[in-house]
Structure 1
Amino acid sequence: MDDGEEVKLETYVKPILTAGKEDLPLPYLLFLQGGPGFESPRPTEASGWIKKACEEHRVVLLDQRGTGLSTPLTTSSLSQITSATEQVEYLKHFRADSIVRDAEFIRLRLVPDAKPWTVLGQSYGGFCAVTYLSFAPEGLKSVLLTGGLPPLGSACTADTVYRACFKQVQQQNEKYYARYPQDIQVIHEVVRYLNESEGGGVSLPSGGRLTPKMLQCLGLSGLGSGGGFERLHYLFERVWDPILVPGAKKTISYYFLKEFEMWLGFDQNPLYALLHESIYCQGSPSKWSAHKIGSECESLFDPIKAIKEGKPMYFTGEMVFPCIFDEIHALRPFKEAAHMLAHKEDWPPLYDVNVLNNNKVPVAAAVYYEDMYVNFNIAKETASQIAGIRLWITNEYMHSGIRDGGSHVFDHLMGLLNGKKPLF
């Protein structure tokens, strides 16, 4: 890829509306998915927030660039770019600022008379929506945010985010083990087995390696979403192979190893691993922030220390560590690019605080009190910088509220915008 060489990307959108309303002049609503690196939903039935939204809108599902059918960036497609420097040059175009430009390009061509549309942003999609508010508010009729208020600042806010998130992750671990105290010993046995195995881990089906540090990453999916505690507990119910022949060696089951890989999914969504920390960067590098801040909490999050002291092993949360580019086979070719991205200093701005302070677009946000991914206090601070925002603060849902109670969440936020709900 030479300097100045044009790269063409395809962008996929899927409009959805209720049958029988095809000819009605319904307003448009764009959904921005969480991530980074995950495609839009593929609904198979009329349910949840989509069913509710389609009562009065034409819903537009956007595969953000690099995901789904929008010139998907996979481990195999990215391997076509053989230079780490060129990989970084390519990847820098997949953040929120580029996603907003895509959305505006689509709106001007899809919406009749290029009218403003409503945007619903979940998690990272909410971060993108705040970028939208900063740089293209003329394209917005209103904005709905669910667990998606980003930290604001002129430089890298990753350190602030992870300091807050490690505390919340600690609390989630304590709640998990209070619910399933029997898992303390089970997980100790797994950590001990991994640590005593040759090379400090065991091989994964895809060719990677499961180590105690990698085992901790299960907290990403298991600690912060509705039903996550239960799914994590049931996963460890099947961690060991049964002993069918007396004297056979104790082994971790193929089922567990395969499920572990599916839970993480970094190999299927390399954008998430490569760009996660960059979503917090404006003109400053992250320098592997999660790893750095995690080192400050090492006394709590050291798995070997935990089993020696007879304490619960704490899982980690929404954090990407350098070790995954060693232990996940499909990510190894991008290790150099990942380190370069972590030290990249010239990230362009993602937010304009002055514009947000003078915002005129109606905004309603669901802020989840026990959100493990988007810290409650940071979200409140950001909300104070967005003029006119209306907050719904609740502990009824976790970060996955739009999935677990989407119809209620969507209806409540629309009620805030329409004056049908009290303001908090």
Structure 2
Amino acid sequence: MTSASRILSPSDAERLLALRRMKLIATGLFVLMAVFFVVAFTLQGRFPWLGYVRAAAEGGMVGALADWFAVTALFRHPLGLRIPHTAIIPNRKDEIGASLGEFVETNFLSDEVVAGKLGSIDIAGALGAWVARPENARRVVAEASTAVRGLATMLDDETMRDAIEAVVRTHLVEPEWAPPIGRLGARILDSGGHHEAVDLLVDRLDDWVAANPEAFGALVSARLPSWLPSFVDRLVDDRVYTEVRRFLADVRSDPQHKLRVAIDGYLGELVDRLQNDQPTIAKLEAAKHHAFDDPRVRELAGSAWQAAKTAAVDALADSESELRKRAEAALADAGARLAADRELGAKVNVWITDAAVHLVATYRHDIASVIGDTVTAWDPKETTEKIELQVGKDLQFIRINGTVVGSLAGLAIFTIATALLPR
């Protein structure tokens, strides 16, 4: 223990001191019994009553030696003699570790124990009340910010760009677009939801025509023969402009207008072709792949990641940033709601309990095996020292009790024998 004491923690150093003190007491009591025995054995001829002292001392010595042997045999070979069934802990430490792990697994990690313990605790209420305090919410956000910033600095930009591109391709590009778009369009047409879009388009077109009448001059009169008088050009332009405005007004006011019917027919045919016409589906898929195969899309993914990472890291690094303040406020508010809402708290408690029971049930053996694996990896001498340091002080009381009980037993036997047996 001397070599280990140089690296002991303060608490273990205190235990070592107490262990040595108890060993001295137990050994000193044995020596005292030996002194009494020698004195009584030498003088009992002159003083017969010393026979009782000798018997008590003799029994105390036997009890002390027997219990010293028993305690010592747990940790080492008594007097260095390799007597069978001694040095039990160093010789059987692997079995002890495995048994301890099995004991913990059976008695501490069972579903009933975990569920019962967690069920008796209002975890959600305690957690909510703690997080609801602004200083605690600030602390949680600060620690989370540090962790996220550390993770962000560890991530390689090129790797993240590839990851983003892979995710986009797997979940966005690879699946067919045409049939889902067609089904969505069919539902919109069935519900009449596209009518609002048509109304909006006609309204915007009418507004543009009203604000740009000169556009019809270049469009119509510029194509008339040059020999026509200029007033004819103006009449044609005004007539075309008026007719376009009237046409748009008719479309706006008449839900059954031919243009609306034509649009409905075209859209209905389009959504059907998107779902069932292979050439149409192939064209859309080809256009989609062409767009996403463009190198600029890859550059966009990299730029998006870099911009998001920079913005997030900068915001998380600043304790006064809007992001962190909002996160703190949201966390504190969520904690207050969790602490105040009993129904919500009960649901969260059930969720936590179920999750813990599931984890324990899944990894119970792995958790318990840590004990056995750890003890197996220990050096036998180190294991002996660790265990003796923890329980050795109490075991010394066995030696003391053995001395006392042996003395009383020796005295009782001698007294009874003297009273009952003739001499």
**Larger RCO (CA under 8 A, 6+ residues apart):** 2
Same fold (TM over 0.5): no
Query: Normalization by structure 1: what TM-score?
Result: 0.19
Higher Cα radius of gyration = 2
Greater helix percent: which structure? Answer: 2
Greater strand percent: which structure? Answer: 1
